[in-house]
């Protein structure tokens, strides 16, 4: 799991490659490297650590080739080291490869290649790829222009797993070949050549025009042209897509970190996600997916499948769909879903949530559901991503690029979009009174303004962060939708501050977890549902009596003076309160991480797009 970049054109490749790697460093930063064609030879320069380390390699500033590939790594096979860093070459140094994904049968392939005289210098799964290409190239007796492509094609047929691959050869110094399967890869058409990357933000300063590759689709490029081939090497035309993201959206715009910028972008991200889909007095507009009443009436269950933060968004989506549509909903962790033999048929709608649209476990679960006859609907932030191309229907959040590893604006945008989708379904099914739906629409339209109130709590949150940033354990509690927010708040704290935290349904405290509450420990509570306030306050009093410090996020007027810090947010429909109550928890995690002097945007051991299972 990593970031890859490539360039072929009329400019010097090296600075373009390093610039692209820097933009993609949130995808992985154990090691980095580049390969370029210099005087008809492949020159590889790589090192352990951050992309910036490449600038210290002797001779890197003298590279002037106009064809190159690059990689920033998040280790899956082999420890972080210079030897394991990409690019990797075959034994003859004829082919160089960078790869994103996992080759599941690499041990078998490694043994095969070893038996055929090949030697390996790294512990990575990737190193089998250039050697396989060399093996097939050497066995091909036809010396025509497509020999390079045939060798790459044959090599990919041997691979099991996921991959996005860029290949150079010193025998074809003016060409580059790229191919993907289940891992992201985009090609941007710029004014001076072609730019390749595993993520669109890395290329926005060069172009808005992109080719989005399908599985087993090959692109063969030189500085002036590009050709596309399917897995049988039949050439075909491909449509270019214009992506309307603003390049400045992928920059910090004066904020100290991307995460803080993205937290404060939530009002506009939600406003953009609402877009033209929701208007008072009119039915919600999802004409782009055209789901009929006849089909919706046949559904007897909805699955929402996702990972991490997206799964937490799904938990709130479940509340929307069950309350408004009266259809049973199950929320599943994608990595578990496939292996529990879920009961799925043509009467099941399966919704898959992924910010990047490239989450490997979620894509695998989607394919399983399709194989069982279910209709599939993707919720993603990335146009043309793998999940959107695999699913029957797709709806997009419009959060813009999210660079920080810890998701914030994508999460709240997902919750909003699921809410609007539930209203749309309810309008078609006539399952909820129209007055209730109109009131909910009004509340959704008011969300961007109300989030400003949540963001105004920054100073109070920052003060509390200073008090508790050295703690080892923190607990989050809540009831109903507030419990879903507790889960997300706890995950944020773990992700970027490395403090152990747990989230519990408040009513479960007395069934075991209260044994962990002792003097001085911090308990963070969310109280937004007025129907559950009395019981929730009772739970907070229980932890206070055992010496806990309390941090409370609420939209209620609380009279108890024993609470240490109370963060007040706006009132809204209880279904929507998670969108407002999560913001102070995002800020709390951010400021605790800053107090500890940690890298907020690039937490250890994590990567933005989890493209391996």
Same domain, residue pair 390 and 334: yes
Domain residues for 529? 458-595
CATH of the domain at 128: 3.60.20.10
The closest alpha carbon to 429, from 320, 293, 327, belongs to 293
pLDDT band of 607, cuts 50, 70, 90: low
Same domain, residue pair 42 and 61: yes
Same domain, residue pair 361 and 427: yes
Domain annotation covers residue 6: yes
For residues 109-116, give the mean pLDDT: 97
Is 2 in the active site?
Answer: yes
Q: Are 316 and 481 a contacting pair, CB within 8 Å? A: yes
Domain annotation covers residue 275: yes
Domain annotation covers residue 567: yes
Same domain, residue pair 301 and 236: no
Last residue of a domain, one of 433, 450, 467: 450
The closest alpha carbon to 283, from 432, 393, 415, 434, belongs to 434
Computed from CA positions of residues 447, 450, 454, 458, in that sequence, does the dihedral angle turn out positive or negative?
positive
Last residue of a domain, one of 197, 218, 244: 244
Number of domains in the chain: 3
The closest alpha carbon to 74, from 1, 163, 166, belongs to 1
Phi and psi angles of residue 71, each rounded to the nearest 5 degrees, phi first: -155, 135
Domain annotation covers residue 397: yes
- Tell me what pLDDT residue 372 has: 94
CATH of the domain at 313: 3.40.50.10490
Which among 409, 549, 568, 608 is annotated as catalytic?
608
Domain annotation covers residue 288: yes
Element housing 568 (H / E): strand 565-568
Which among 2, 43, 325, 350 is annotated as catalytic?
2
158: left (phi over 0), alpha (psi -120 to 50) or beta: alpha
Same domain, residue pair 133 and 183: yes
Q: What is the pTM of this model?
A: 0.74
Q: Are 455 and 584 a contacting pair, CB within 8 Å? A: no
Last residue of a domain, one of 185, 216, 244: 244
Computed from CA positions of residues 348, 443, 409, 284, in that sequence, does the dihedral angle turn out positive or negative?
positive
Q: CA 121, CA 127: separation in Å to the nearest integer?
A: 8
Express each pLDDT in 143-157 by its tens digit.
888 999 999 999 999
Is 608 in the active site?
Answer: yes
- Tell me what pLDDT residue 384 has: 78
Express each pLDDT in 479-532 by its tens digit.
999 999 999 999 999 999 999 999 999 988 889 888 888 898 999 999 998 888
């Amino acid at each position: 799991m990593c970031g890859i970049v490539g360039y072929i054109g009329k400019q010097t490749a090296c600075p373009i490659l390093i610039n692209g790697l820097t933009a993609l460093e949130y995808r992985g930063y154990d090691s980095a490297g580049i390969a370029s064609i210099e005087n008809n030879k492949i020159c590889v320069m790589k090192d352990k650590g951050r992309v910036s380390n490449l600038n210290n390699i002797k001779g890197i500033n003298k590279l002037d080739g106009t064809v190159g590939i690059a990689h920033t790594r998040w280790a899956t096979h082999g420890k972080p080291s210079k030897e394991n860093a990409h690019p990797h070459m075959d034994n003859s140094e004829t082919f160089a490869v960078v790869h994103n994904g996992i080759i599941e049968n690499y041990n078998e392939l490694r043994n095969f290649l070893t038996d055929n005289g090949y030697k390996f210098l790294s512990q990575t799964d990737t190193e089998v790829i250039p050697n396989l290409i060399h093996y097939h190239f050497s066995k091909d007796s036809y010396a025509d222009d497509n020999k390079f492509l045939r060798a790459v094609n044959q090599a990919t047929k041997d691979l099991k797993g996921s991959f996005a691959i860029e290949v150079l050869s010193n025998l074809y110094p003016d060409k580059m070949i790229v191919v993907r399967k289940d891992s992201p890869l985009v090609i941007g058409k710029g004014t001076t050549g072609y730019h390749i990357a595993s993520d669109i933000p890395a290329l926005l300063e060069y172009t808005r025009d992109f080719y989005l590759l399908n599985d087993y689709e090959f692109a063969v490029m030189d500085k002036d042209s590009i050709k596309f081939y399917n897995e049988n090497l039949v050439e075909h035309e491909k449509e270019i897509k214009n992506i309307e993201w603003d390049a400045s959206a992928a920059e910090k715009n004066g904020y100290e970190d991307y995460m803080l910028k993205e937290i404060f972008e939530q009002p506009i991200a939600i406003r953009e996600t609402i877009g033209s889909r929701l208007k008072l007095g009119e039915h919600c507009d999802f004409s782009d997916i055209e789901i009929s009443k006849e089909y919706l009436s046949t559904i007897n269950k909805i699955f929402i499948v996702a990972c991490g933060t997206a799964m937490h968004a799904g938990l709130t989506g479940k509340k929307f769909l069950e309350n408004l549509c009266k259809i049973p909903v199950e929320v599943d962790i994608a990595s578990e879903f496939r292996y529990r033999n879920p009961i799925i048929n043509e009467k099941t709608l399966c919704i898959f949530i992924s910010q990047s649209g490239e989450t490997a476990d979620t894509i695998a679960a989607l394919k399983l559901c399709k194989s069982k006859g279910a209709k599939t609907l993707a919720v993603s932030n990335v146009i043309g991503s793998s999940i959107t191309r695999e699913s029957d229907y797709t709806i997009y959040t419009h959060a813009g690029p999210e660079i920080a590893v810890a998701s914030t604006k994508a999460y709240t945008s997902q919750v909003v979009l699921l809410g609007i989708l539930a209203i749309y379904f309810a309008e078609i099914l006539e399952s909820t009174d129209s007055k209730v739906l109109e009131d909910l629409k009004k509340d959704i339209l008011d969300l961007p303004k109300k989030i400003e109130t949540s963001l105004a709590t920054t100073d109070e949150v920052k003060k509390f962060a200073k008090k508790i940033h050295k703690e080892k354990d923190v607990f989050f509690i809540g009831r109903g939708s507030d419990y879903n927010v507790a889960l997300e708040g706890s995950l944020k704290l773990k992700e970027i501050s490395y403090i152990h935290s747990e989230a519990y349904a408040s009513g479960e405290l007395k069934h075991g977890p209260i044994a962990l509450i002792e003097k001085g420990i911090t308990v963070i509570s969310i109280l937004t549902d007025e129907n559950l306030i009395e019981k929730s306050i009772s739970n907070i009093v229980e932890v206070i009596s055992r010496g806990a410090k309390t941090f409370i996020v609420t939209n209620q007027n609380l009279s108890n003076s024993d609470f240490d810090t109370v963060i007040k947010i706006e009132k809204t429909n209880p279904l929507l309160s998670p969108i407002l109550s999560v913001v102070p928890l995002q800020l709390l995690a951010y400021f605790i991480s800053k107090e500890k002097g940690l890298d907020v945007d690039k937490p250890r051991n994590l990567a933005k797009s989890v493209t391996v299972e």
